[in-house]
Structure 1
C-alpha cells in the first residue's frame, strides 16, 4: 500500500476555538474603546493569523501603531485565557486514534502563532505519537497559503506532496494544498461554508472526521 500522510489545519478543523478567539478579541477591543463584534463575524476574521484577525476586527483605516498595540495585547489576553470553550470537534479523537493505529504520519500547520499552536496540540493531542510535525506562524516562515511550510512537512515525512492530504476549513487551506500540490480536503464543520472550499479548489468535501480516514483507505 502506498504510504500517505495528513496535514491538518488547527482552528476550525481539529478544534472549535471560535468562541474563545472572539471573547479575547472583544476584551481587548473594549479595553481600547473600540467597537466589539458578534461571534458570527469572527468566522470571517480568522484564518490568516493573529495579525489579520486584529486587522479585520479593527475599524477600517486604523493606524498601524494601533494595530500593533492591539495585537500585542490580544496575544497576552489570549495566552492568559486558555481556554474554557475550546475543544476538539466530535469525531476528531476517533480519527486520530485510527491514524495512529494504522501508522499514518500526521502534521499540523496553522497560521495561529506558533507558541499557541504548540500549546493546543500538546494540551489536546499529546497522546498521539504519529503527530510528528506541528507548526504555527513564525516570523521567518511565510504563512499559508504560501506552500513552504507544507512542503517542509512533506520532506520531514519523507513523502511526495501528492501523497499527502491537506485538511482544512477555509480558502487559505485549500490554496495551501493547491500551491503545494497536495490533495485538498475541505471540512464541512469548520468556520466557513462548503461553497468557499469548493470555489478554492477542494478535491474532497468531508462531513465527518471519519470520512477523512475513508479517503486514506
Structure 2
C-alpha cells in the first residue's frame, strides 16, 4: 500500500541548492582570507546542518573564525539563496500526484528552520505541505528521529505508515531510526553506494521511479 505520509529532505532531494550554498560559503571564506572550495567538495560538506558545513569548509586549526564565517555565510545566503536554486525536474509533478492520491506531505531539513521555510515558500508555494521544518533550537537535527516522529504525530500518521525520502546517509539513518520506509534519490548530493550502505529500501533515479517506489509495487530497490 502507498504510504499515508511522505516526509522529504529539502536540499538535494526537492531542490538543487548546491551552487548557491557554494557561492555563499566561498564568499564568507574569501572575506576571512581562507581558501575556497570547488562545487564537488560541497557535496560532502552539506547535510548535517550549517555549523557542520562551516566546520568542514574552514581549514583545521581555524576554529577561531567559525562564528564570523557562519555569520557572513548566512548574510550572503539570505540575499542570494534563489540565484541558482530550483526544484529538480519532475519534483513538482511527484508532489502533485502524491497529494492527489491523498498522501500527506512534509519537509524535514537540517537547513536552519527560517531558511527552510523561506525556500519552500518561494519555490514550492502551491504544494499542500502539512509540516515544514528545518533545524530548530531544542530539537535534535537528523539523523536523530525526534523531528521526524514529531511530524508523523502532527500529521496524525503512524511512523510505519510514513516514507522518508532523501539523498544522503543522514536521511536514510533518520528513516531507519524513526521506523519509516526509506527511499533514496540519486539525483542529489551523494552516491548510490552511500544510500545503500545506510539502508535505503528503495532507490529512485528519476521522478517517475520515485512515484513507482512510493505508489507502485514492489517496494524494493529499483536498481542494484
TM-score interval for Structure 1 and Structure 2 normalised by the shorter chain: over 0.9
State whether residues 166 and 184 of structure 1, in contact with CA within 8 Å, keep that contact through their aligned partners in structure 2.
Answer: yes
Residue 84 (structure 2) aligns with: 85
Report the equivalent of 1:111: 110
1:136 corresponds in structure 2 to: 134
Structure 2 residue 11 is the aligned partner of structure 1 residue 11: yes
Alignment CA distance shift 1:190-1:105 (3 Å): same
Q: What are the equivalent positions in structure 2 for 1:1-217 lying under 5 Å apart?
A: 4-63=4-63, 65-129=64-128, 131-217=129-215
Q: 1:100, 1:2 → 2: CA distance?
A: 12
Task: Give the C-alpha shift of residue 210 in structure 1.
Answer: 2.6
**Contact residue 203 and residue 210 of structure 2 kept, 8 A:** no
Could you tell me how far apart the structure 1 residues matched to 2:207 and 2:159 are?
21
TM-score (ref. length: structure 1): 0.96
CA distance in 1, matches of 2:168, 2:81: 23
Matches of 2:173 and 2:61, distance apart in 1: 27
Question: Would the aligned equivalents of 2:21 and 2:81 in 1 still touch at CA under 8 Å?
Answer: no
Given that 1:11 and 1:17 are in contact with CA atoms closer than 8 Å, whether structure 2 keeps it comes out as yes
Question: SS state of the match for residue 35, structure 1?
Answer: coil
Within 2, Cα distance between the matches of 1:196 and 1:2?
25
Out of 79-88 and 17-26, give the one that drifted further.
79-88
Contact 2:24 2:73 in 1 (8 A): yes
Structure 2 residue ranges without an equivalent (≥5)? 216-224
1:3 Cα deviation after fit: 5.7
**Contact kept? 2:3, 2:161, Cα under 8 Å:** yes
* 5+ long unaligned stretches in structure 1: none
Structure 1 residue 213, shift from structure 2 partner: 2.1
